[in-house]
């Protein structure tokens, strides 16, 4: 499977085309829209989220509630577009002020590199596409992937572990409980004490015209052993998930299981001992975060991602005017103070896509029925091993 997205943050809509999705999978549009609504929430979001009410409009590949095997096309409208029709219109405009030109690049954003690379003297042409608004449609795509995963009992959940210097106690709960509790938290944590301190830290950063990043963890349960492959670099599923996580705007790091901690410990404290009980293999621990040799072990996938603080600062950093080359402070655009809770939802959904994709690589088939036959045959093979 593959997908492409198109669209600008203040353009009319975001568009996605998903190619290779199997037929006969029930698509619950409410479930996809629930993912979109989750992404809009979280303490620290800016005014834009009051304008938008993201919903996925399916415009291809789904009929009477089920996929047909044709490319799935979906659209999420930008409500804010009505305020930008001239600024973002495709028709040429003469008046300079109607362009809302950006000429003072924000340190940390794609503005300057993109302007130099694409030879754009209006940095709006870069920021409009590099904006994290694009994650809306990737969450919708992840929502579609989840519709396939749920047919096979695979569940994806997330929790925020850090915002700025506030660390939350990591919750090791059954996923349904983790989902229920984090869903009610404005910062998607289980640890109530940390929740209050995170909210205070976000409010303080906002007061100072500053921003905050953090750490997010995603867990995937119900994956069979053997998704991904050791035989070729680009078939390693942990590598693909890492790429997907780092492709989320503002993400700078990723780790699996005990992650960077493994550098400090001896091998005996890092690897997961193999057991055989009640007719199947299992592990005493899951420090590997569900992967060995780029393949799933059958244990839950545990991934953490690091998000840097958003680069649009209301108290802007030093920059240079691209016209005069004189020192200036960076341009201020409306933005969020902290989008780590939203990023948790985004990370869940980009990982859901990668797992669904690896699932199809392994059990491939054009219809759900064909995939199910392959899946059940494989499970029998594993049981008989
Ligand atoms: C973003 C800047 C802000 C955020 C946006 C990401 O957009 P605006 O300038 O329109 O307020 O609100 O995020 C979203 C629109 C969203 O849906 O998450 C940026 O520069 O990345």
The span from the CA of 68 to the CA of 61, in Å, is 6
**What domains sit in the chain, N to C, each tagged with a CATH number?**
2-384 (3.60.150.10)
Coil, strand or helix at 221: strand
H helix or E strand, kind and range, residue 319 = strand 318-320
Q: What are the pLDDT digits (tens) for 3-55?
A: 999 999 999 999 999 999 999 999 999 999 999 999 999 999 999 999 999 99
Region 227-241 average pLDDT? 98
Those residues whose C-beta lies under 8 Å from the C-beta of residue 47, and which sit 6 or more positions away, are 334
Cα dihedral: 8, 15, 218, 261 (round 10): -50
Residues in contact with ligand 1 (CB, 6 Å cut-off): 9, 46, 48, 52, 80, 131-133, 136, 249, 312, 333-336
State both tokens at 330. 């960076």
Q: How many Cα neighbours within 13 Å face the side chain of 277?
A: 6
Q: Is 230 helix (H, G, I), strand (E, B) or coil?
A: coil
Per residue in 189-232, pLDDT tens?
Answer: 999 999 999 999 999 999 999 999 999 999 999 999 999 999 99
Q: What phi and psi values does residue 6 have, to the nearest 5 degrees?
A: -145, 160
Question: What letter would DSSP give residue 118?
Answer: H
- For 339, counting Cβ atoms within 10 Å of its Cβ (0-12 exposed, 13-18 middle, 19+ buried), the class is buried
Residue 42: DSSP 8-state: S
In sequence order, which residues have a C-beta less than 8 Å from that of residue 86 and are 6 or more positions away? 93, 98
The CA-atom distances, in angstroms, between 50 and each of 47, 97, 201, 317, 344 are 5, 26, 22, 27, 20
The residue that leads in pLDDT, 171 or 132, is: 132
Please say if the pLDDT value at position 97 is more than 90: no
DSSP helix/strand/coil, 76: strand
- Separation of CA 385 and ligand 1 centre (Å): 51
User: For position 331, what pLDDT does the model report?
Assistant: 82
Q: Ligand 1, from 5, 8, 9: best to mutate by most atoms within 8 Å of Cβ?
A: 9
111, 334, 335: residue to mutate for ligand 1 pocket, most atoms within 8 A of CB = 335
Percentage above 90 pLDDT, the chain: 95
Residue 374 binned pLDDT confidence (cut-offs 50, 70, 90): very high
Q: Span 165-181, mean pLDDT? A: 96
Give binding residues for FMN as ranges: 129-131, 249-250, 293, 308-312, 334
CA 42 distance to own-chain centroid: 15
Cα 312 to ligand 1 centre (Å) = 10
From the alpha carbon of 135, which atom of ligand 1 is closest?
18
Confidence (pLDDT) at 31:
98
Q: Residue 95's pLDDT is what?
A: 83
d(CA 2, CA 79): 27
Strand partners, 76: 14, 56
Q: What is the pLDDT of residue 69?
A: 98
Indicate if the pLDDT at residue 360 is higher than 80: yes
Nearest CA to ligand 1 atom 5: 133
> Looking at the predicted structure, is the pLDDT value of residue 367 above 90?
yes
* pLDDT of residue 61 exceeding 90: yes
């Amino acid at each position: 499977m593959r997908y492409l997205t198109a669209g600008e943050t203040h353009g009319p809509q975001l568009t996605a085309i998903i190619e290779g999705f199997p037929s006969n999978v029930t698509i619950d549009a409410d479930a996809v829209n629930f993912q979109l609504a989750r992404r809009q929430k979280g303490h620290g979001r800016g005014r834009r989220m009051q304008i938008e009410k993201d919903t996925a409009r399916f415009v291809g590949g789904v009929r009477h509630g089920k996929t047909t095997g044709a490319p799935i096309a979906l659209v999420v409208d930008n409500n804010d577009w009505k305020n930008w029709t001239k600024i973002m219109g495709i028709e040429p405009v003469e008046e300079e002020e109607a362009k809302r030109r950006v000429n003072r690049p924000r340190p940390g954003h794609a503005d300057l590199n993109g302007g130099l690379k694409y030879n754009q003297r209006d940095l709006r042409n870069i920021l409009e596409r590099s904006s994290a608004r694009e994650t809306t449609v990737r969450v919708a795509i992840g929502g579609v992937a989840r519709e396939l995963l749920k047919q096979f009992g695979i569940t994806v959940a997330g929790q925020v572990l850090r915002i700025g210097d506030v660390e939350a106690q990591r919750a090791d709960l059954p996923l349904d409980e983790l989902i229920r509790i984090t869903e009610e938290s404005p910062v998607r944590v289980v640890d109530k004490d940390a929740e209050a301190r995170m909210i205070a830290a976000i409010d303080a950063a906002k007061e100072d015209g500053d921003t905050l990043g953090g750490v997010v963890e995603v867990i995937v349960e119900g994956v069979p052993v053997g998704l991904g492959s050791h035989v070729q670099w680009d078939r390693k599923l942990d590598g693909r998930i890492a790429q997907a996580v780092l492709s989320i705007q503002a993400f700078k790091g990723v780790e699996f299981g005990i992650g960077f901690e493994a550098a400090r410990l001896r091998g005996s404290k890092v690897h997961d001992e193999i057991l055989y009980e009640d007719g199947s293999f299992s592990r005493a621990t899951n420090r590997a975060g569900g992967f060995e040799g780029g393949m799933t072990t059958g244990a839950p996938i545990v991934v953490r991602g690091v998000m840097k603080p958003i680069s649009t600062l209301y108290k802007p950093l030093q920059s240079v005017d691209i016209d005069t080359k004189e020192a200036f402070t960076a341009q201020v655009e409306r933005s969020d103070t902290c989008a780590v809770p939203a990023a948790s939802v985004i990370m869940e959904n980009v990982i859901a896509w990668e797992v669904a994709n690896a699932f199809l690589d392994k059990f491939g088939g054009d219809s759900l029925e064909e995939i199910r036959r392959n899946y059940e045959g494989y499970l029998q093979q594993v049981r008989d091993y």
